């Protein structure tokens, strides 16, 4: 029988570990053979401990402080195995930042690095456009580990085909540009969570840029995106 644990922490740009204060809760979905497999933790260091023989993937949902509902939820997958006594997995998550929204989150992020609208050369317009340039890592450590961290400017690449399935891609592309910063983050997460090898998407974390070719997205995902755009922009 193996005793294991997973916890989440945050790394700054120099790789120094910090408590993941930017999260207000973390939910682990353990293998269904465990009693109470869905564990939601609301205190640092969001540590879950168990014992068993089997290795399995643990879906982890982290929730960003001050962003309610699905807009603040980010999903990562942790590979629990016993090949090493201790190991760390890094993951990247998108965190919306703005000079006027969510000052509590901004303050916590500033403890581990500068914010994009504070850096020289970063204009207020870029900060308000949905771009998130800060880099953070969430590190989970111990007999199992996981990690996550930051950013993205969301851009929709207009696809050449006018229609795919029942979706007007040009209208969808235009609707995406009308979404708010927080709504764009949800779109990025929707696309990332449903990614397949056939989809032409690129998440350039270093440059804070997310691009996608709408024509390569499956019909079901396009419909979900269109429904979301209609709900949040009034597009018809």
Q: Are residue 170 and residue 130 in the same domain, yes or no? A: no
Report, as an integer, the average pLDDT of 147-151: 32
Final residue belonging to a domain, choices 151, 182, 199: 151
The mean predicted confidence, pLDDT, of the chain is: 76
CA dihedral over 202, 203, 209, 212, signed as positive or negative: positive
Please check whether residue 201 is in contact with residue 195, taking contact to mean a CB–CB distance below 8 angstroms. Answer: yes
Residue 34 has a pLDDT of 92
Q: Residue 157: inside a domain, yes or no?
A: no
C-alpha torsion 21→27→28→31, nearest 10: 180
- In three-state secondary structure terms, 75 is strand
Residues 212 and 119 in one domain: no
Dihedral of CA 189/150/148/25: which sign?
Answer: negative
pLDDT of residue 150: 29
Mean pLDDT in residue range 182-193: 84
The whole-number pLDDT of residue 214 equals 87
Let me know if residue 158 belongs to a domain: no
Domain count of the fold of the chain: 2
What is the predicted pLDDT for the residue at 128? Answer: 31
6 plus 106 within the same structural domain: yes
pLDDT band at 122 (very low <50, low <70, confident <90, very high): very low
Is residue 224 packed enough to be buried (19+ CB in 10 Å), middle (13-18) or exposed (0-12)?
middle
Domain that holds residue 214: 163-233
pTM: 0.57
pLDDT of residue 121: 36
């Amino acid at each position: 029988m193996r005793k294991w644990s997973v916890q989440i922490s945050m790394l700054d740009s120099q790789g120094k570990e910090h408590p993941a204060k930017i999260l207000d809760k973390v939910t682990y979905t353990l293998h269904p053979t465990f009693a109470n497999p869905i564990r939601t933790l609301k205190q640092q260091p969001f540590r879950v401990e168990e014992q068993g023989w089997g290795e399995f993937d643990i879906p982890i949902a982290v929730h960003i402080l001050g962003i309610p509902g699905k807009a603040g939820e980010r999903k990562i997958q942790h590979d629990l195995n016993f090949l090493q006594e201790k190991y760390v997995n890094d993951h990247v998550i998108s965190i919306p930042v703005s000079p006027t929204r969510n000052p509590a989150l901004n303050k916590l992020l500033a403890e581990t690095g500068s914010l994009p609208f504070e850096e020289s050369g970063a204009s207020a317009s870029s900060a308000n456009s949905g771009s998130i340039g800060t880099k953070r890592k969430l590190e989970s450590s111990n007999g199992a580990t996981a990690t996550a961290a930051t950013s993205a400017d969301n851009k929709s690449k207009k696809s050449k085909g006018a229609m795919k399935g029942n979706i007007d891609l040009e209208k969808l592309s235009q609707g995406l540009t009308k979404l708010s910063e927080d709504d764009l983050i949800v779109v990025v997460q929707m696309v990332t969570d449903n990614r397949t090898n056939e989809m032409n998407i690129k998440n350039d974390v270093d440059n804070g840029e997310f691009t996608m070719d709408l024509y390569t997205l499956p019909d079901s995902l396009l419909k979900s995106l269109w429904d979301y755009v209609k709900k949040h922009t009034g597009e018809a």
